[in-house]
Amino acid sequence: MEIEKDRKTNMAVTLLIQRLYGQKDYSLVKNYKDIPDAKKYYTKILKSLIISISETITVSDKRQINELIELLEYGIKQIKACKSFDDIDQRMIATLAQLSFQLIGNCPDRWSRKNVINRKEYWELNAHRQIQYVQTPEHKSNAIKSIVSRKYSDRFGGWIKFLNFCQYDLKNEPGNLIKYMKENHHDIYEEVE
């Protein structure tokens, strides 16, 4: 069996790296990389998730936060021990899948079941906790600004004009922006509603 020395990073991963860490890191991973580089970036992603969980999730039981962080730390440890690109990829996939289920409520542990099918009674994962998203007026205002910057800045004469309008006319008050959009640009407002 031939040992893997390097491989070209998949475009999906390079775009993820660019989105998460910017142009410099994107430039570093877009060409062929070796196993230590793959471990480095996958570990970096998992470490960023630990920080994001610690800084973002504000209402939860301590057990949930600890389980999320322990799961990611275990994934980091496993990735560092991998010997091939395939092993690294498989460990990352497994870690992120477990994280997704744990974030929803709880990762199922059905190793002793003979058969589990995709029916709702098997996949309602709120026995320990239930996920709930909260959107404050500031969150909604930020979401509106994001949507305008991506899709509708031309309606306002450009992104800078829109920001100036928010700052000077609406006094940078989230409630003022929400009211203005609801009354004058209902289609944009509906996207965050």
Across the 193 residues of the chain, what is the mean pLDDT of every consecutive 10-residue run? Answer: 65 87 82 81 94 88 90 97 92 96 89 88 87 90 96 96 96 96 96 89
pLDDT in tens, 80-134: 999 998 999 999 999 999 999 999 988 888 889 888 889 888 899 888 888 888 8
How many of the other CB atoms lie within 10 Å of CB of 50? 17
| Residue that is written with structure tokens 């570093």 in the block | 28
d(CA 56, CA 132): 13
